[in-house]
Amino acid sequence: MDHLNVSRPIAILLSLVPGWGHIYLGFEARGLVIFTLAALGGFGWINATWIYLGEGQSIFQGITLVLFGGLFLFSLVDIFIRTAKKRVSRSSKLCESLLWEGMMHYVMGNDLAAEEKFRETTRVDGLNVEAYFRAGIVAARRGELQQAKRFLKKARRLDHDLKWSWEIRRELEVNKLEVAPTDLPTPAEEAAHSDASSASEDEATTNEKEITS
């Protein structure tokens, strides 16, 4: 699970600003909603306390304070739970299962079910590059090119170690999804792909020798 590559202390620290911890873990939509609502509550409380002096001031203060406080606590507790070791381990196993099921549906030609499994994986782990990549492939095969482009670009943005870089760029090029010249593979990305391929070949050779002996 890609959450293993992020820092729990940083996630919890960022969640002191409601929504930021979720964005850090890849749950951008949820984080932005939490942050927006908390900001409305915070600015509403400031307005009710220092600017608005009419009737119902205390009620207005109470509502906005409850809104901000509730979202603050929810954000902090949710991140604390999501980054717990047991939760991360359980989520990792679930992601592996969902990806496997998605691949089985893809091989059998059930693209809708495959895409749903890959989407569900991203809902469990918002930083899962493979899930976004495979969802992009399925969307492209279904002819949903704009959706495929969004998935593939999200995968490329999350692929910090360049593990999937070559494959992502290849899919973008094959489906003619407006790949700019600046998006061509860099020497570092080509080297990363070459190293990964060499490692896979070496492993396959070793396994073959073991089976033969």
Retrieve residue 91's tokens.
């989520």
Domain residue ranges in the chain: 2-83, 87-212
Amino acid at 123: R
Cα 103 to Cα 135: distance, rounded to the nearest angstrom: 10
- Quote the pLDDT of residue 103: 94
Q: Could you tell me the fold of the domain covering 87-212?
A: 1.25.40
User: What letters, b where the CB count within 10 A reaches 16 and e where it falls short, cover 3-18?
Assistant: beeeebeebbebbebb
Per-block mean pLDDT, blocks of 10 residues, the chain (213 long): 69 93 89 94 87 78 91 94 88 92 93 92 90 92 89 88 86 73 51 54 51 48
Cα angle, residue 118 at apex, residues 152 and 106 outer, rounded to 5°: 95
Cα separation values, 149 from 10, 84, 111, 145, 173, Å: 31, 33, 17, 6, 11
pLDDT of residue 40: 93
Query: Which pLDDT score, from 0 to 100, does residue 86 have?
Result: 87
